[in-house]
């Protein structure tokens, strides 16, 4: 099933895999840091390029920096694909898609003339920083948080749903009480006001004008102020549970690059590759035995 490569090529791939996907050797760490710097620079270029004064003055520098970085990111992606045994699985994973999104917009500008509007897509390369972060020291912690979020997702969705219902009811109420002059021109506009008030943001662009409207606003604000406790309570309980039951491994699969394995896992949960590089896959032994028979 695997490519049968010459030992030398196999060695190069294995070394590249270690540098790019792991972070336990000096080379791998240097690569991680270089990648962080490149990502931060590319984001800074996008941010500063949106400020008119800087765009006029340093437009050329921004343009060339972006092209150099896009080239580097493209090469990096090719190397990533090269050193994985199942590259298609990687490209379909979250980080593979992020990698593609991070370079596609700039290439599109070259090919399609009017693609300058893809600024937002270009911004998606910010997501790449997550990869680095995960490779560094935070693996356990991030997994803990993701675990707790997964566990509380159902309850937090239910909570959001309830909030939307409360918001809709209060919005309809205020729409009939307050006049359009105060800003309550429609129920959706009232919903905007209700969310601004309930989340305690309070821009002040729409504000109740009548005494009754003010009284209802007080109730809404106190409600929002106190039910902020609900997601906190749910999430706290789940974090406490996650800390108690944590057993994530920092292993990266040499097959598809998948990283969130259980500590007791011996095969990749996504592609079935043998994870323990220090010993031999017992399946191979069995196959060899069968070949001998």
Q: Which of the residues 101 through 120 are near a copy of itself (CB under 8 A)?
A: 117, 119-120
The count of chain residues that interact with a copy of itself, using the rule CB under 8 A, is: 83
Pair of tokens at residue 189: 């506009």
| Of the residues 155, 271, 273, 274, which one makes contact with a copy of itself according to CB under 8 A | 155
90's CB contacts (< 8 A; 6+ apart) are: 80, 81, 84, 96, 256, 257
201's CB contacts (< 8 A; 6+ apart) are: 195
Taking CB under 8 A as the rule, does residue 62 contact a copy of itself? no
Taking CB under 8 A as the rule, does residue 205 contact a copy of itself? yes
Taking CB under 8 A as the rule, does residue 212 contact a copy of itself? no
Among positions 38-57, residues that touch a copy of itself (CB under 8 A) are 43, 46-48, 50-52
* Interface region with a copy of itself, contact rule CB under 8 A, candidates 15-23, 83-91, 96-104, 202-210: 202-210
Pair of tokens at residue 253: 């699969």
How many helices (H) and strands (E) would you count in the chain?
A: 12, 0
Among positions 177-196, residues that touch a copy of itself (CB under 8 A) are 185-189, 191-192, 195-196
Least distance from a copy of itself to the Cβ atom of residue 282, Å: 36
The CA–CA distances, whole Å, from 271 to 88, 99, 192, 260 equal 11, 20, 46, 13
- Nearer residue to a copy of itself within complex by CB, 72 or 145: 145
Place of tokens 């043998």: 274
Contact 207/183 with Cβ under 8 angstroms? Answer: yes
User: What residues form DSSP beta bridges with 267?
Assistant: 274
| Of the residues 169, 247, 277, 280, which one makes contact with a copy of itself according to CB under 8 A | 169
| Of the residues 64, 67, 94, 225, which one makes contact with a copy of itself according to CB under 8 A | 225
Taking CB under 8 A as the rule, does residue 98 contact a copy of itself? no
């Amino acid at each position: 099933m695997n490519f049968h490569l010459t030992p030398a090529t196999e060695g190069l791939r294995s070394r590249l895999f270690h540098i790019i996907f792991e972070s336990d050797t000096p080379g791998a760490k240097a690569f991680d840091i270089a990648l962080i710097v490149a990502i931060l620079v590319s984001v800074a270029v996008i941010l500063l390029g949106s400020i008119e004064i800087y765009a006029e003055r340093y437009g050329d520098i921004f343009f060339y920096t972006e092209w150099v970085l896009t080239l580097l990111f493209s090469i990096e992606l090719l190397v990533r694909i090269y050193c994985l045994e199942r590259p298609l699985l990687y490209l379909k994973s979250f980080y593979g898609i992020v990698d593609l999104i991070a370079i596609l917009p700039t290439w599109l500008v070259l090919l399609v003339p009017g693609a300058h509007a893809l600024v937002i897509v270009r911004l998606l390369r910010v997501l790449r920083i997550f990869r680095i972060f995960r490779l560094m020291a935070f693996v356990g912690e991030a997994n803990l948080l993701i675990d707790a979020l997964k566990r509380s997702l159902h309850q937090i969705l239910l909570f959001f749903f309830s909030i939307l219902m409360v918001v809709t009811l209060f919005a309809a109420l205020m729409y009939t009480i307050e006049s359009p002059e105060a800003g309550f021109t429609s129920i959706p506009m009232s919903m905007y006001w209700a969310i601004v008030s309930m989340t305690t943001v309070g821009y002040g662009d729409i504000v109740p004008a009548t005494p009754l409207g003010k009284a209802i606003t007080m109730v809404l604000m106190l409600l929002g102020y106190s039910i902020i406790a609900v997601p906190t309570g749910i999430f706290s309980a789940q974090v406490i549970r996650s800390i108690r039951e944590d057993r994530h491994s920092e292993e990266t699969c040499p097959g598809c690059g998948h990283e969130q394995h259980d500590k007791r896992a011996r095969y990749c949960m996504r592609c079935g590759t043998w994870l323990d590089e220090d010993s031999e896959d017992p399946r191979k032994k069995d196959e060899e035995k069968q070949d001998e028979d």
